[in-house]
């Protein structure tokens, strides 16, 4: 049994080393990042979620994650405040599509998942399976050199620019844009990322933000094992 902290479901399976004599083309780089979903593993984590919005009272809650990966899919359960249970099934072949299966509580007790400004695709990292558009100029995020890829939602409603750590591919930052707009309407930043010798990573905190609001997800314990 090995212990790791991780911010979101896919951080157990993403970001294996991308060692190559020559830098991979953008599409090949992206496909390499998607492949680690084939690793069979399970994990669970606990933490806190805090939502702040101008002019409104702060929302706080505890959360628990349980997740398993197989070659075909990811299955996860998210529990907020020990009351609301959410189930997520993400099939690898349709990971970027809005058809991912999300089970909502029969009688959701406020505050629920969406009250914290969180979308299922944030937790599942399904947006890295969106359609490739182009590679943008290399940039940095939290002092790390990154390749920046623009991806488009399958329904055409929005795009996302994702900062991937150049050598190992861990997603450091993301910004979402509504169709036809040049200003991001929401952003994601990973904090406290650390890589272990076996190539897996942990993230202590993820921060989501938009116009007048922000959400912090902070993890204090996680456990992970390979099957």
How far, rounded to the nearest angstrom, does the alpha carbon of residue 136 sit from its chain's CA centroid? 20
- Token couple for 81: 């405040």
| pLDDT tens string 142-154 | 888 999 999 998 8
How far, rounded to the nearest angstrom, does the alpha carbon of residue 91 sit from its chain's CA centroid? 15
CB 58 within 8 A of CB 51: yes
- Alpha carbon distances (Å) from 165 to 147, 217, 221: 6, 21, 24
| pLDDT tens string 64-117 | 888 777 777 777 788 999 999 988 777 766 655 544 677 888 899 999 988 999
Closest CA to 36 of 20, 15, 18: 15
Does residue 178 surpass a pLDDT of 50? Answer: yes
Does residue 51 surpass a pLDDT of 80? Answer: yes
Does residue 210 surpass a pLDDT of 90? Answer: yes
pTM, two decimal places: 0.81
Identify the structural domains of the chain with CATH numbers, from first to last.
9-226 (2.50.20.10)
In the prediction, which pLDDT does 9 show? 41
Does residue 36 surpass a pLDDT of 90? Answer: no
Closest CA to 161 of 136, 143, 124, 178: 136
Backbone angles phi, psi at 113, to 5 degrees: -55, -50
Highest mean pLDDT among 49-58, 60-69, 122-131: 49-58
Task: Output 60 or 226, whichever has higher pLDDT.
Answer: 60
Is the preceding omega at residue 111 within 30 degrees of 0, hence cis? yes
Give the separation between CA 99 and CA 124, rounded to whole angstroms: 13
Average pLDDT, the chain: 79
Closest CA to 205 of 215, 197, 69, 168: 215
Query: How big is the CA angle at 64 (ends 60 and 65), to the nearest 5 degrees?
Result: 130
Closest CA to 65 of 227, 224, 226: 224
């Amino acid at each position: 049994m090995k212990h790791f902290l991780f911010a979101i479901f896919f951080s157990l399976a993403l970001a294996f080393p991308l060692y190559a004599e020559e830098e991979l083309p953008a599409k090949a780089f992206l496909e390499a990042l998607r492949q680690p979903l084939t690793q069979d593993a399970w994990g669970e984590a606990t933490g806190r979620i805090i939502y702040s919005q101008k002019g409104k009272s702060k929302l706080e809650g505890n959360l628990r994650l349980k997740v398993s990966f197989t070659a075909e899919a990811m299955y996860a359960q998210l529990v907020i405040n020990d009351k609301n249970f959410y189930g997520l099934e993400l099939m690898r072949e349709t990971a970027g599509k809005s058809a991912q299966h999300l089970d909502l509580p029969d009688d959701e007790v406020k505050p629920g998942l969406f009250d914290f400004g969180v979308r299922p695709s944030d937790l599942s990292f399904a947006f890295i399976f969106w359609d490739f558009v182009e590679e943008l100029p290399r940039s940095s995020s939290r002092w790390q050199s990154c390749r920046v890829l623009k991806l488009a939602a399958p329904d055409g409603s929005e795009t996302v620019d994702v900062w991937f750590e150049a050598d190992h591919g861990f997603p450091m930052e993301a910004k979402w844009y509504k169709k036809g707009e040049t200003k991001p309407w929401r952003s994601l930043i990973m904090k406290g990322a650390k890589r272990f010798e076996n190539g897996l990573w942990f993230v202590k905190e993820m921060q989501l933000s938009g116009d007048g609001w922000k959400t912090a997800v902070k993890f204090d314990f996680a456990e992970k094992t390979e099957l």
